[in-house]
Amino acid sequence: MDVSTTLARLPLPKSRVRALVTRALELERIRNALVSVTFLGPRAMANLNSSYLGQRGPTDVITFSFDRESPQLPVVGDIYVCSSVAAANAKRLRISLREELSRLVVHGTLHLAGLDHPDDDTRTSSPMWRKQERIVDRDR
């Protein structure tokens, strides 16, 4: 697993990022994975969001996964987290930045594992969201 940043400093300790990714993958019974987590600024995230998702502006997390030809092959993918969007989310939700960044790392990892959620108001009651919250709550 690789953890990197384009920012002046890493917003979460690498050990915490690794622990969150590992825990989410273990819960999905994934033991073989190659995962990269990168923390970006808003400009870089906006570029990714526009280029790959056709959306304007930065978003909080984007996950890219590569298809496995067989279950024996590792899960491979990249997770990109925008720290400034996370900071705005944390402020709006009245939670710590550390908690919001942790949530986004877990969220991206669960997408990498193949889970998904609706994009409407039922998103936060979906099975994926509930699993994400259990992992974040456990790791506080």
**pLDDT for 91-139, tens place per residue?**
999 999 999 999 999 999 999 999 999 888 888 889 999 999 999 987 6
pLDDT value of position 140: 62
pLDDT value of position 92: 96
Q: Are 3 and 18 in contact (CB under 8 A)?
A: yes
Model pTM score = 0.92
